[in-house]
């Protein structure tokens, strides 16, 4: 049942801290605090390339994973939605790894992509929430997300569980390839282990998130912006808003705004940004400033170190707890999901069962 929550989505949003903790527990040895993967039928150190594929939110998790895999493991990564991957006929490297991500393990497009990657000689690793699913049976190795059943059609906790697994995988591959040393691994593992308690703190931000939601609920179109690993956070925020509030939202890499979408900006198009402090912060801030100068109403998710700078331009700030830059996209994803939920409440939509959508899409 809903355990006293108004919607499954609300209940599942509140399960983020638990689910992240449980999923990490599977992958991090408590004694050594190092990432451990199940035994693999291939050698992680010699994989030439990874092809990540999935649909919807699971694909956005994969995009965040790509930033981690490239930066921390220095491995080439190709990522595409499952319904496109096969038809692109990408040249596959011999002995490469096909990395599938799916909550249900039954999504027809992802399953078809799995089969075509296997036919192309790739090892198949799947990050799945349903261990007895079709994709689980057809994979060489499954990494489990311990999210429990997800009832709401819009994915929430499964997404952060997927991110938790991807972060650990990037660390494991980085170590296998000799690019992550012990100190860096300890630092990243600590950042991950800090997440559940930081995620609990998000639930104290309800008033700020509701204030931002009130602005969005009045809009017909919303722009979501982010840079680097926060660009997929923007994609996830926009998808969630569309799914449950039926408000049109589009996500752009913050630097792309001036190449077109800025023409849309006026006071009727709110701009939501995921912009934690860090190397990309100042660039994002100046992109946002351009939007503000054109009358855009900015709703900015940042952290304590970014609050002063963003406070000068944003109409609404949501100040998330300070976390390591590596794990910030996980925390920000939860925040944009919470925002979509608050907007849907204001709109009075059927949050758990949005029109036209099914929980598991089993046709290609
Ligand atoms: O079960 P899967 O993870 O394979 O599902 C993939 C997508 O259909 C799913 O993430 C969909 O985009 C959700 N409705 C997002 O909230």
pTM assigned to the model: 0.98
pLDDT digit string, tens, across residues 266-291: 999 999 999 999 999 999 999 999 99
Q: Residue 361 CA: which ligand 1 atom is closest?
A: 8
Secondary structure string (H, E, C) spanning 92-116: CCCCCEEEEEECCCCCHHHHHHHHH
Question: 362 falls in which pLDDT band (50, 70, 90)?
Answer: confident
List all residues whose CB is within 6 A of at least one atom of ligand 1.
Answer: 55-58, 102-104, 107, 110, 153-155, 243, 357, 360-361
Q: Name the helix (H) or strand (E) containing 121.
A: none
Task: Identify the CA nearest to 9 among candidates 200, 155, 112, 143.
Answer: 155
Question: 315 falls in which pLDDT band (50, 70, 90)?
Answer: very high
Task: Identify the CA nearest to 281 among candidates 322, 248, 339.
Answer: 322
Question: 363 falls in which pLDDT band (50, 70, 90)?
Answer: confident
ipTM of the complex: 0.99
Q: What pLDDT does 283 receive?
A: 97
pLDDT digit string, tens, across residues 7-39: 999 999 999 999 999 999 999 999 999 999 999
Residue 80, classed as helix, strand or coil, is strand
Q: What pLDDT does 120 receive?
A: 96
Residue 300, classed as helix, strand or coil, is strand
- The share of the chain scoring above pLDDT 90, in percent, equals 98
Task: Identify the CA nearest to 171 among candidates 322, 32, 290.
Answer: 32
Residues in the chain: 364
Quick check: 255 pLDDT over 90? Answer: yes
Task: Clarify whether 283 is annotated catalytic.
Answer: no
Residue 178, classed as helix, strand or coil, is coil
Question: 86 falls in which pLDDT band (50, 70, 90)?
Answer: confident
Quick check: 118 pLDDT over 90? Answer: yes
pLDDT digit string, tens, across residues 146-174: 999 999 999 999 999 999 999 999 999 99
Q: Residue 56 CA: which ligand 1 atom is closest?
A: 12
The CA 341 to ligand 1 mean position distance, Å, reads 17
């Amino acid at each position: 049942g809903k355990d006293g929550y108004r919607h499954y989505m609300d209940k599942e949003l509140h399960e983020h801290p638990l689910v992240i903790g449980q999923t990490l527990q599977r992958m991090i040895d408590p004694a050594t605090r190092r990432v451990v993967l199940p035994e693999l039928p291939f050698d992680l150190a010699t994989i030439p390339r990874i092809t990540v594929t999935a649909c919807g939110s699971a694909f956005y998790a994969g995009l965040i994973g790509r930033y981690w895999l490239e930066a921390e493991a220095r491995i080439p990564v190709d990522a595409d939605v499952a319904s496109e991957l096969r038809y692109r006929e990408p040249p596959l490297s011999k002995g490469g790894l096909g990395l599938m991500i799916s909550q249900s393990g039954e999504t027809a497009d992802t399953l078809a992509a799995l089969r075509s990657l296997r036919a192309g000689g790739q090892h198949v690793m799947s990050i799945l929430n349903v261990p007895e699913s079709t994709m689980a049976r057809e994979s060489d190795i499954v990494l489990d997300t311990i999210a429990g059943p997800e009832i709401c059609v819009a994915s929430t906790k499964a997404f952060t569980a997927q991110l938790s697994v991807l972060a650990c995988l990037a660390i494991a591959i980085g170590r296998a390839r000799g690019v992550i040393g012990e100190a860096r691994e300890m630092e990243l593992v600590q950042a991950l282990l800090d997440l559940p308690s930081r995620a609990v703190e998000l639930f104290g931000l309800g008033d700020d998130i509701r204030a931002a939601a009130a602005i969005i609920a009045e809009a017909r179109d919303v722009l979501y912006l982010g840079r680097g690993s926060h660009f997929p956070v923007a994609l996830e925020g926009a998808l969630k808003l569309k799914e449950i509030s039926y408000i049109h939202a589009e996500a752009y890499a913050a630097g792309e705004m001036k190449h077109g979408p800025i023409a849309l900006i006026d006071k009727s198009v709110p701009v939501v940004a995921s912009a934690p402090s860090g190397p990309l912060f100042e660039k994002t801030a100046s992109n946002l400033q351009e939007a503000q100068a054109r009358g855009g109403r900015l709703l900015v998710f940042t952290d304590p170190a970014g609050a002063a700078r963003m406070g000068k331009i944003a109409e609404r700030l949501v100040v998330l707890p300070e976390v390591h830059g590596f794990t910030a996209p996980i925390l920000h994803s939860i925040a944009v999901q919470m925002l979509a939920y608050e907007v849907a409440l204001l709109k009075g939509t059927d949050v758990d069962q949005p029109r036209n959508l099914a929980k598991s899409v089993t046709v290609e």
